[in-house]
Amino acid sequence: MVRTRFAPSPTGYLHIGGARTALFNWLFARNRGGKFILRIEDTDVERSTQESVKAILDGMKWLNLDWDEGPFFQSQRMDRYSYFAEKLLNEGKAYYCYCTPEELQERRERALKEGKKPTYDRRCRDLKEPIVDRKPVIRFKAPLDGETIVDDIVKGRVIFKNEELDDLIIIRSDGFPTYNFAVVIDDVDMNITHVIRGDDHLNNTPRQIQIYKALDFPIPIFAHVPMILGSDKTRLSKRHGATSVMAYKEMGYISDALVNYLVRLGWSYGDQEIFSREEMIKKFSLENIGKSPAVFNPEKLLWLNAHYIKEMEPSKLAELAREFFIEKGYSLPEETKFEKILCSLRQRGRTLVEIADMADFYFTSEFNYDEQGIKKIFNEQTKKSLKEIREKLSKVNELLEPDFEIIVRKTAEELKLKVSEVAQSLRLAITGKTVSPGLFEIIEVIGINETIRRIDRAINYMDKV
């Protein structure tokens, strides 16, 4: 049974890179009918916060990455870490080290200055007597020679010389485990079969493998996926704009679009760009993950988002868009009307925010007219055509899309104007803008009376100027 996990540290929100790692783990587990486990790596008490935990969970939920077990917290598993540290100690595979952080720091700097490697010199490795008055750390007795091999699904076989690796600290002086130790114990306890994570961890992997071996644990399969970079090709960070997954929700992105974008960052399936969840799960494989890092491209995400907005069920769109309209202070009409409004706007807006921003004329008749529009469009000729249309409308009881189109075209013909000229006049009168959804769609939503009112308002406006 395949078991994967996502193991973020709660030191901030769920970011784009973490989300993709979570997605790959989730997809692989789902593809293989396995389990996906969520674990919170909160051994760094200083930096871990409860808010971050919540932010990460919220992000996962928004992206619809459901987990089967957890969230487990490392902070609640201290006895496990102590137990295995003790075991290593007893078996002579670990030892107490009394060097202080300051001493270590100083030696590192000196070594660097002398052109030597800044690794720990193992001076406490064979210490016979404890040094009193000092709280020791526990270090792992790493092998001195030979090599440690990482057989990685995406990177292939990576060989590390053991002499390059020093005796890492596994338990800090405050009793908390360090990352490289805790992950091993956790992954074993949770029966993780496939460790899928960012390749910034590749260098940690041989150290972890040494611990697996010392404890006689089975070694999982590793897959180190390349990082996501910003436009300047450095690791994606706040500098590059929004990196929090939830920020994309607030900007009006659809979570399926973001997931679709993320899955294609570092993974591909031939030429296919659009994947439903089902397809993604069915087609995902670790073998198709690329080796090289990917640059995050907001333009393509925007394109995908627009695609999802256009393809979505109107009722679903309404459900997701609602909060953005409420945010604007609009009181929402009944469901079918709201859906009609959204469908008229969805071809033009790439995010829910953009859509809500274009929608004002559906919710108020007291809008201002576009400055450029006033100059270009509000003139005698416009007044004439508006009056003519108003006249024709007053003879109609109900206004349907095709009827209105006929009226506009006929008016243009009679006044010897281009249809576009008449349409633009009406557009400015009805929406206050020079750019809007199709006129005929709009009037069907706002109705004949409101249309007439707005035409009158425009004519009045022109009369006053």
Partner RNA sequence: GGUCCCAUCGUCUAGAGGCCAAGGACAUUGCCCUCUCACGGCAAAAACGCGGGUUCGAAUCCCGCUGGGACUACCA
Q: Considering only residues 155-174, where is the footprint of RNA by CB under 7 A?
A: 155-156, 158-161, 164, 169, 172-174
Least Å distance between CB 242 and RNA? Answer: 16
Site string for RNA, 131-150 (x = CB under 7 A): ----x-x-------------
Task: Say if residues 56 and 70 touch (Cβ distance below 8 Å).
Answer: no
Cβ neighbours of residue 162 closer than 8 Å, sequence gap 6 or more: 142, 143, 144, 145, 146, 147, 148, 206, 210
Rounded Cα distance, 69 and 249, in Å: 25
- Nearest alpha carbon to residue 345 among 226, 414, 263, 252: 252
Least Å distance between CB 19 and RNA? Answer: 15
DSSP 199-229: GGGGGGHHHHHHHHHHTTPPP-EEEEEPPEE
Least Å distance between CB 36 and RNA? Answer: 18
CA distances (Å), origin 451, targets 305, 368, 383, 429: 33, 16, 15, 9
* 233 near RNA, rule: CB under 7 A: yes
Residues 327-356 interacting with RNA (rule: CB under 7 A): 347-348
Least Å distance between CB 299 and RNA? Answer: 4
Task: Say if residues 160 and 114 touch (Cβ distance below 8 Å).
Answer: no
Residues 376-435 interacting with RNA (rule: CB under 7 A): 405, 419-420, 423-424, 427, 434-435
* 271 near RNA, rule: CB under 7 A: yes
Residues 279-318 interacting with RNA (rule: CB under 7 A): 287-288, 290-295, 297, 299-300, 302-303, 306-307, 310
- Please tell me the count of residues contacting RNA according to CB under 7 A: 88
Residues 31, 75, 268, 381: which binds RNA (CB under 7 A)?
268
Tell me phi and psi for residue 171, to 5 degrees.
-125, 125
Residues 70-129 interacting with RNA (rule: CB under 7 A): 99-101, 104, 108, 112, 115, 117-120
Residues 22, 195, 196, 227: which binds RNA (CB under 7 A)?
227
The rounded Cα 357 to chain-centroid distance in angstroms is: 23
- The yes-or-no answer on residue 238 being catalytic is yes
Residues 23-62 interacting with RNA (rule: CB under 7 A): 41, 43-44, 47
- Nearest alpha carbon to residue 358 among 441, 458, 282: 441
Q: How many helices (H) and strands (E) does the chain have?
A: 19, 12
Least Å distance between CB 129 and RNA? Answer: 18
Cβ neighbours of residue 116 closer than 8 Å, sequence gap 6 or more: none
Q: Would you say 200 or 335 has its CB closer to RNA?
A: 200
* 202 near RNA, rule: CB under 7 A: yes
Exactly one of 54, 116, 238, 300 is catalytic; name it.
238
Beta bridge partners of 36: 4
Rounded Cα distance, 288 and 410, in Å: 59
* 241 near RNA, rule: CB under 7 A: no
Residues 433-452 interacting with RNA (rule: CB under 7 A): 434-441
* 219 near RNA, rule: CB under 7 A: no
Residues 9-28 interacting with RNA (rule: CB under 7 A): 9, 11
Q: Which amino acid is at 272?
A: Q
Catalytic positions are 238
